[in-house]
Chain A
Amino acid sequence: MISRSELKGPSVHKYQVCKSGLESKKNPIGLATYKVPDFPVNVSLESLIAEGKITLCSNQSRINVGVATCGRAAGAMDIYNNLEKRDWCGAVRVFKVGCIGACYAEPLVHIRTPEGKHYFYGNVDMSIFWHIIKTAEEKPGTKTLPFLWAITQESKTGILRGIQDMELIKVQNSGFRDFFQPQVRRISGRCGLIDPENIAEFAAMGGFGALEKALFRLKRKQIIDIIRTSGLRGRGGAGFPTGDKMNIAYENADLVRYVIANADEGDPGAYMDRVLLESDPFSVLEGMMITALAIGASQGYIYVRHEYPMAVHALKKAINCAHKVGFLGNNVLGSSFSFDITLVESGGAFICGEETAMLQIMGGKRGEPQLRPPYPVRQGFQNHPTVINNIETLANIPWIILNGAEAYRELGTPKSPGTKIFCLAGDIKRMGFIEVPLGTSTKVLIEKIGAGDKESIKALQIGGPSGGIVPYKDFSLDYETVESAGAIIGSGGLVTLNKKRCMVDIARHMVNFMASESCGKCSICRGGLLELEARLLTLTSGKGYPSILTEIEALSKAISSISLCGFGKTAATPVTTTLTYFRDEYEAHVNGKCPAVFCKPLINFEIVLPCRECHACHSVCPSGAVKRRTDKNERLVVDSKLCIKCWACYEACPFDRIRIVSEELHGKDDRNHS
């Protein structure tokens, strides 16, 4: 084995200095962006770290604009383009970064000043541009404070390995503090602070340290033992111990082995893989490399979802970049370990997140799940042992290698150690991507971090469409407790549903999704789900009959007991859980009433007095249903015969004077008015 001192490859340090430091002073307008040299060169880790520090903790101010998918949806590209266009006279550089997690605050701009202070601006629009420019340009001590959300200070100026290295010194927006305070950012600490396309910044933030340790200071068996004692469980849903999986592949007699990263994150409402890939792709590559090194694989695949074009782009760039500096390919970091990664783009099928279905696709066949055993870890891609891990699991591995198994077990519960990323969405104020220790209670997540209103929240949907919909109450989020509540943690999507959401319709939507995503191999899943959807559609269109609930129950039981794979077994969970917990809503639908006033055929719109007659509803109504009544009390009314129930008037009314009523109520109200 080669020692570190022998590994001094040609440094690109000088290159970087001349590109960014000196030249930009001469030529203030041209902001040279970092480019990896075009020639294949083995760069040592030290020189990469030094190079990353130049941009990351420089003596220029640095502006980070979050331009991940959520940022773009909020218009962050306009902000970036405007800031980038400005002539900063070499004093400031503007960077595109990923997502820091506070998706509700997008577009988010964050400034690092040379003295190590970080200024966070949320919900940025053109009106506060001037404040951002002032903060970035002015000398210390004269900063302008309005519109700031928070200021943090690096614990030790110039050392920044993640958001955990910052101390909060001033909070202007208390929600921002509440969002971050209960979190522990172990694996997502770099997200939103580094340029995801720049390998040097990743290294400067402590990246590749684990790979170096694994390559030169640990034996392969030791790596596996560390992961095993850490108790890391697969984050994709099933929760299988990762170390055990690695060990099975390690002990296999077949010497050709593969690593596959499963980024086919199909669960609606879960986007942690997307954030990790868009904001910190190198950490996933590092996790893959360590796994490959431990089990002895030389080829890896990343099976990524087609619906995440930005993540695909980020991965392509990251793989190319890692190749160019010799962190991928032959003899990684000058060692005897060689590894390559190929990207596989899925085509939009939920079932392909199932490992055997994924392997079928990679083999060029339809993605139909296969009977296990043999498990892929014994006989997978091209019949060789294949370790398939979720993106989040892989991102955990470098942290464990670097900090040890004991440190990892400090957080979480004994059976589910470590931290888990959850995605908060739905009817709460602060939505986003959060990392908390496993076993944190839902109360902290929904009420403290998410600022959800306890009174208005009806249900939680945990673990994607095959998870369950459970009533909102305080319980701890670890694998066992959630399972006993009737749901699964799954990949970690938490969609909060408030009292306005109709449970029957949500269940119908889930079943519709599952029916369209069924691979069609088992007839009970292919046909049964369609039948189940038809029954639920009967309910939501107000044509229910007394025996329909028994039929729904029998059908969902049959689907889950006969299907072959996990998809079919869990496909009816949304229906069974809502039937258990929200049976009254189902019964109301049988009687032709939607208690949550959502199902179109069962509701009517009314304009209630006092109406200000602003005509907003009249102007947006596409079907001409909002009319002026011409009898003695002249006023605007909704003609229920013409109404197409598009909710346009309800959304447009500035005074909340549109009321939606369900049929039974409507009859009563009608009598009162006429």
Chain B
Amino acid sequence: MTEKLAAWEKLSRNDKLLINMLHLIQEEQGYISRNRLAELAEKAEVPVSQLQGLVSFFNSFRTYPAGKHRISVCYGTACYAKGAPLINDRLVDELKLKDNIDTSSDGLVTLEHVYCVGACSRAPLIVVDGEISGKIKSHQVPLILESLRRKE
């Protein structure tokens, strides 16, 4: 049992929100494993199926591990109109991603989409490990990936 799960009991009645707990678990592990979900279900006295339903409902919860670095391409209207699909296609090409697989085979990068990070003036945007960079051109993608590889 982790510390964060143990905190559940200390919460006041008004603060016992399952979704906040799921965020804590995801923060800790990078994804939400079945074991953790079962532990939370036991603590909160709800069926695992209900939690599973909550997890699968949201885009941001992962049920399997992610790569070392995470790149999100903003797919909001402004970014889309200004060329987000071109950046996405280039990333897919460079990372050699296949359908329904979002992590490169070397486990370096996970590619995700986000619908608007709210900095539309810098469109198109990508978020690399939480750092937002704006006005990206598709030919900059190899450079971005190279800098991530060099960090290793």
A270, A275, A506, A646: which contacts B89 (Cβ < 8 A)?
Answer: A646
Contacts A348-B59, A364-B19; is A274 near B118 (CB within 8 Å)?
yes
B118 adjacent to A69 (CB under 8 Å):
yes
Residues of the B chain whose Cβ atoms lie less than 8 Å from the Cβ of A648 = 90, 137-139
Cβ contacts under 8 Å, B59 to chain A: 347-349
Structural contact, B121 and A431, CB atoms closer than 8 A: yes
User: Which of A17-25, A140-148, A301-309, A552-560 lies at the binding interface?
Assistant: A301-309
Which of A70-78, A218-226, A584-592, A603-611 lies on the face that meets chain B? Answer: A70-78
A394 sits at the interface (CB 8 A): no
Check if B23 sits within 8 Å of A366, measured CB to CB.
no
A356 to chain B, nearest CB (A): 15
Encode B122-144 as 1/0 by CB contact (under 8 A) with A.
Answer: 11010000111110011100100
Please judge, given known A-B contacts A73-B133, A74-B122, A347-B19, whether A268 and B78 are in contact too, CB under 8 Å: yes
**A271-B116, A344-B17, A348-B58 as given contacts; A366 in contact with B81, CB under 8 Å:** no
Is A104's CB within 8 Å of the partner chain B?
yes
CA distance A331 to B141 in the complex (A): 55
A266 within 8 A of B: yes
CB of A345 closer than 8 Å to a CB of B:
yes
- Complex interface: stretch among A28-36, A281-289, A420-428: A420-428
Q: Within 8 Å of chain B (Cβ to Cβ): is A620?
A: yes
Stretch in B46-54, B63-71, B101-109 touching the partner: B46-54
Closest beta carbon of chain A to B146's beta carbon, Å: 14
Using CB atoms, name the residue of chain B closest to A105.
B121
A120 proximal to B (CB < 8 A):
no
Report the nearest B residue to A647, measured CB to CB: B86
Q: Are B23 and A268 in contact (CB-based, < 8 A)? A: no
In the complex, residue of chain A having the shortest beta-carbon distance to the beta carbon of B116: A268
- Given A365-B53, A431-B120, decide whether A495 and B132 contact each other with a Cβ distance below 8 A: no
Count residues of A near B (Cβ-Cβ below 8 Å): 65
In the complex, which residues of chain B have a beta carbon less than 8 angstroms from the beta carbon of A652? 137, 139
A347 to B58, CA, bound (A): 5
Tell me which residues across on chain B come within 8 A of A506, comparing CB atoms: 77, 80-81
- Whether A104 lies near B139 (C-beta < 8 A) is no
Does A465 have its Cβ within 8 Å of any Cβ on chain B? yes
B145 within 8 A of A: no
| Residues 351-381 of chain A, each 1 if its beta carbon lies under 8 Å from chain B, else 0 | 0000000000110111100000000000000
8 Å CB contacts to A: which residues of B86-113? 86, 89-90, 93
A271 in contact with B139 (CB, 8 Å) = no
Q: Which residue of A has the minimal Cβ distance to B16?
A: A364
Question: Whole-angstrom distance between the alpha carbons of A506 and B118 in the complex?
Answer: 19
Chain B: interface size category: 35 or more
Nearest B residue (CB) for A68 = B119
- A271, B138: Cβ atoms closer than 8 Å: no
Complex alpha-carbon distance, A24 and B123, angstroms = 41
Contact of A646 among B17, B119, B138 (CB under 8 A): B138
Give the shortest distance, in Å, between B93 (CB) and chain A (any CB).
7
Q: Is the CB of A69 within 8 A of B77?
A: no
Query: Is B83's CB within 8 Å of the partner chain A?
Result: yes
The number of inter-chain residue pairs (CB within 8 angstroms) is: 176
Question: B3 an interface residue at 8 Å Cβ cutoff?
Answer: no
The answer to whether B23 and A651 have CB atoms under 8 Å apart is: no
A308 close to B117 (CB less than 8 A): yes
Q: Distance (Å) between the CB of A110 and the closest chain B CB?
A: 17
Q: In the complex, A423→B116 CA distance in Å?
A: 13
Residues of the A chain whose Cβ atoms lie less than 8 Å from the Cβ of B130: 309
- Write out the residue numbers on chain B whose beta carbons fall within 8 Å of the beta carbon of A265: 118
| Of the residues A72, A269, A622, contact of B77 by C-beta under 8 Å | A269
Residues of chain B with a CB closer than 8 A to A465's CB: 77
Shortest distance from the beta carbon of A358 to any chain B beta carbon, whole Å: 10
- By beta carbon, the residue of chain B nearest A649 is B139
Contacts A497-B81, A513-B115 given: A622-B14 contact, CB under 8 Å? no
**Is the beta-carbon distance between B116 and A361 smaller than 8 angstroms?**
no
Contact B77 A495 (CB under 8 A): yes
Interface members, chain A 509-523 (any B CB < 8 Å): 509-510, 513, 517, 519
Any B CB within 8 A of the CB of A137? no
Query: Measured between alpha carbons, how far is A507 from B137 in the docked complex, in Å?
Result: 23
User: What 1/0 flags go to A153-166 for Cβ under 8 Å of B?
Assistant: 00000000000000
The answer, among B14, B20, B115, B119, for a CB contact under 8 Å with A70, is: B119
Name the residue among B46, B59, B76, B132 with the largest chain A CB count within 10 angstroms. Answer: B76
Q: Which residues of A contact B23 (CB under 8 A)?
A: 306, 345, 347
A622→B81 CA distance, assembly (Å): 22
For B81, B89, B131, B138, the residue with the greatest tally of chain A CB atoms inside 10 Å of its CB is: B81
**Complex Cα distance A70/B76, Å?**
14
Do the beta carbons of B115 and A271 come within 8 Å of each other?
no
A431 to B79, CA, bound (A): 13
Assess whether B17 is in contact with A307, with CB atoms less than 8 Å apart: no
Quick check: is B22 within 8 A (CB to CB) of the other chain? yes
Min distance, Cβ A585 to any Cβ of chain B, angstroms: 15
CB nearest neighbor in B for A621 = B139
Most chain B CB inside 10 Å of its own CB: which residue of A269, A345, A427, A517? A269
A536 to B27 Cα, complex, angstroms? 38
Binary contact track A616-651/B, C-beta < 8 Å → 1, others 0: 000010100000000000000000000010111001
Set of chain A residues within 8 Å of B53, measured between Cβ atoms:
365-366
Contact B114 A269 (CB under 8 A): no
**Minimum CB distance partner of A341 in chain B:** B14
Which residues of chain B have a CB within 8 Å of any CB of chain A? 14-15, 17-20, 22-23, 44, 46, 50, 53-54, 57-61, 75-83, 86, 89-90, 93, 114-123, 125, 130-134, 137-139, 142
Report, nearest first, the 6 A-B pairs whose CB atoms are least far apart. Answer: A347-B58, A271-B118, A268-B76, A425-B120, A103-B121, A431-B121
Can you report 14 A-B residue pairs in the complex whose CB atoms are below 8 A from each other? A69-B118, A73-B122, A103-B119, A269-B78, A269-B116, A269-B120, A306-B58, A307-B115, A346-B19, A423-B120, A426-B120, A497-B81, A510-B77, A648-B90
Since A347-B61, A426-B120 are in contact, a sample of 18 more A-B pairs with Cβ atoms closer than 8 Å, ordered by chain A residue number, is A70-B119, A72-B132, A73-B119, A73-B125, A103-B122, A104-B121, A265-B118, A271-B119, A307-B116, A345-B20, A347-B19, A348-B115, A364-B17, A495-B120, A506-B80, A517-B115, A519-B57, A651-B138
